[in-house]
Amino acid sequence: MIRAAVALIPAILLVAACDGGPAVVRDKPDNVGPFPAADRPVARIVSARWSTEEARDRLNEAGEVMNKSGVAKGMTVADIGAGEGYYTIRLASRVGKDGRVVAEDIVPQVRDALAQRVVRDRLDNVSVRLGDPANPKLPDNSFDRVLMIHMYHEIEQPYEFLWRIRPSLKATGEVVVVDANRRTVDHGTPPKLLQCEFAAVGYKLVAFDDMPSAGGYMARFQAFGARPEPKDIKACRIAG
């Protein structure tokens, strides 16, 4: 039975990957509860795609990212900010029938279009969900990899977002971020800022690679130590 049926529940998470279009900055959210607000601009979602699939395949973008991040048969992977499904489709093929891909997006129309694509392509190992910008609501101890491709700079509440992802990772699970090395206002994330925000929530950088095929870099993180209390998280003051 195809598991791409859209769950009729309020938000689970995701943001559509931007395509580097005009930067329109959202105000920093005022109500972030016990979590600190990000001390940087937040780029607006401008497109469900970063580039065309044909152009990305010519550069072997997805193949290179999956190879370097160790995505393999039988794994369970979350594609956060799945957009039109460029990575979702290719991840489904890579993890195979014994693996699983959870694809999420916060834009209902984008989620619906991706769900239709998954059903049309008969991807039985893919689930498509509507997401919430601050809480992925992923099941605990379930994911080998959580991918965020060209969307990290669009997250309004990164500290809460990363804090809530931590329990979903398996013991050796990793969060994989692909982004451009430029200011968040210009639809990218400076690597120092990225590392600082992850470290603030208890992640360590395990690998960093330049990724010209994906228009920037790829960073891989693992959770370490105890998850900090929200009130103890300190916002980074690195220019974004």
Going by pLDDT thresholds of 50, 70 and 90, the confidence category of residue 101 is: very high
The winner for highest mean pLDDT among 2-6, 128-132, 169-173 is: 169-173
Going by pLDDT thresholds of 50, 70 and 90, the confidence category of residue 16 is: very low
Mean pLDDT of the chain: 86
117-129 pLDDT, tens digit each = 999 999 999 999 9
Going by pLDDT thresholds of 50, 70 and 90, the confidence category of residue 14 is: very low
Token reading at 178 = 């692909």
pTM for this prediction: 0.85
Residue pair 155/40 in contact (Cβ under 8 Å)? The answer is no
With b meaning 16 or more CB within 10 Å and e meaning fewer, what string describes 87-105? bbbbbbebbeeebbbbbbb
214-217: which pairs have CB atoms within 8 A and are 24 or more residues apart? 214/56, 214/59, 214/61, 214/64, 214/65, 214/149, 214/150, 214/178, 215/20, 215/50, 215/51, 215/150, 215/180, 216/150, 216/178, 216/179, 216/180, 216/181, 216/188, 217/178, 217/179, 217/180, 217/181, 217/191
Residue pair 35/67 in contact (Cβ under 8 Å)? The answer is no
Domain 54-225 fold: Rossmann fold (3.40.50)
In which element (H, E) is residue 179 found? strand 169-179
Cα–Cα separations (whole angstroms), residue 49 to 3, 59, 97: 23, 16, 26
Going by pLDDT thresholds of 50, 70 and 90, the confidence category of residue 15 is: very low
Residue pair 115/4 in contact (Cβ under 8 Å)? The answer is yes
Q: Where are the domains of the chain?
A: 54-225
